[in-house]
Structure formats: structure tokens, C-alpha cells
Amino acid sequence: MNTPPAPIQTQFYTGADGLKLCADVGGDPAQPTVILLHGGGQTRHSWTGAMRELLAQGYHVINLDARGHGDSQWSPTGDYGLEALSADLLAVMATLPTRPALVGASMGGGTLLYAAGNHTEPIAQALILVDIVPRVETEGVGKIIAFMRSHVDGFATLDEAAAAVAAYNPNRARPGATTGLMKNLRLREDGRLHWHWDPKFVARKVHVEPPQFADLLLAAASRVRTPTLLVRGLKSDLIGEDGIAELKAHLPALEVADIAGAGHMVVGDRNDAFNQAVLQFLHQHLPRPQA
């Protein structure tokens, strides 16, 4: 039976290179921990619904802003590669008494897969990849990059930003209120609203072809011995059947949960169905805490 919602507090961790990483943290630290890692260009607020459900189930949850995103510090050298991101994750995990479950969307999924596959011992009880495989579809990646590199001058109003999001994801119903969008925007000195990520993250050269991305993650996957679930949106333009088959060849025990009606932003498109798939997997491999 569900427990009452736990209070959520903002907490800072020290990541690699001494960067301060911001997280929303809730639940009893003595209970099993779930760490949530958002996608590139997102913030911890993309997990709001999922975090609420995990807390109701009794888990201890760390919902982390990646370096250069949200309220975490920006890298002074613009280092946002897999090695740096995974080092941040391991630094946060070092504060825990037991191995957690790791849930990562897109960039966050790549981060946890790289970390798990490049560590001599299992680092987690369970791994959950959200709409990410090592060899992604170039057309889908191009769409994401184009969105992130557009509107470099920001937006005059919140409605302008909402219109840009709606144009990127026309399959998702546009919310009646746009106030929640402000969690991903900041008002800068130019008087305009800008996405709250480090411009260096967007400006860097993005490697989606081997060996910079796919080969690194496939090699990592081949060394993973932790129960792993891939949650994919059936309308996603980022991962295809070939990409899933290739990952399974390196990680034969991989399980796949398909979410109908969801695109790449699975959590936002079908949050209830996503939560159900994740909780079913967690209850197997990170047993549900007793009430």
C-alpha cells in the first residue's frame, strides 16, 4: 500500500572537478534509493510525476540536475562528455550506504550505461534506460540538436517558449497553463527568457557516430551484469529496431517495455504508463519497501 507523499528538499552534491550538483531529494534515506537522470537540455523537473510516484511507493529518491543544466554548476571547460557525467554520478552514489537503482532518459541513460560498464563491480541494483540505445537514429538526433540550437536569442514571452516546445512535439497536447515551463527557463540580463543550460553544452560538437558514442556505450553494455530495462516510446524517432537488436547482442538480458503513444519524451508523453513499467521492474530488482 502506498505511503503518504514524502517532503522534497533541495540538496547539493559535489561532483567531479568539484562542481556543485543540485538535486531534489525525498523519502527515507534508509530505504532503497532511486536516482533519476534527465536528458540533455532538460532539468530534474522533467521527472516531477515519476518522482512523486516513487516517493509514494516508499523509495528514497535523488532527482539530479546534470552539470550545466538546471541549478547545477556549469563546467568552466565545457566538459559535458560521458566520462565527466558518469564521474558526477559516481560521486553522488558514493554518498549512499547501498547500491541504488538508476533511471536515465536519453543523455542520462547514456551516462548510467557508461558508468555501469566501466566499473569493476556492479554499481547498481537495477538500470533503466529511457528511450536511448548506443546507436541512435541520426534523423532523430538531428531534430533534437536543431531544437536546442534554435532560439539562441531566447524568447520575449513564456508563450513564445511554449509555442517552440509545441512545434517540436506536436503529438503532445499543449498544456493550458505555461507556468511550469518557467522551471526550464531563466530571465537573463538582456530581458529575455533563455533555456537554463550552459550554451557550451549546445555549442559543442555532438558525437553520435562511432567510436565517440556508439562504440563506447556498446563496449560498456557488454560488461554490464546488472538487470537492465529499456523503456521506449513507440513513436520515438531516436531509437529503432536495429539499435535495440544491437544493444541486445551486447546485453542479452536486456528487457524492453514499449509505451504506446509516446515519443522520445516518454515520461512527459505517457507518465502513468511509464511509471507502471518502471515500478514493475523495480519491484523485481529493488524490492518495494515495507510500509
Q: Which whole number is the average pLDDT over 168-180?
A: 63
pLDDT, tens only, 71-85: 999 999 999 999 999
One DSSP character per residue, 198-263 reads -HHHHHSPP--STTTTHHHHHHHHTT--S-EEEEEETT-SS--HHHHHHHHHH-TT-EEEEETT--
For 136, the grid coordinates are 541512435
Question: What percent of the chain clears pLDDT 90, i.e. is strictly above it?
Answer: 65
Domains, the chain, in order of start with CATH, read 8-140+207-285 (3.40.50.1820)
Mean pLDDT of 117-122: 92
pTM, whole model, 2 decimals?
0.90
pLDDT band for position 177 (cuts 50, 70, 90): low
Query: Among candidates 209, 200, 207, 250, which has minimal Cα distance to 230?
Result: 250
Query: What integer pLDDT is reported at residue 48 of this predicted model?
Result: 93
DSSP structural state of residue 90: H
The pLDDT tens digits of the residues spanning 77-116 come to 999 999 999 999 999 999 999 999 999 999 999 999 999 9
Cα–Cα distances (Å) from 161 to 28, 152, 180, 195, 279, in that order, read 37, 12, 12, 9, 33
Taking alpha carbons only, the member of 96, 78, 83 closest to residue 31 is 96
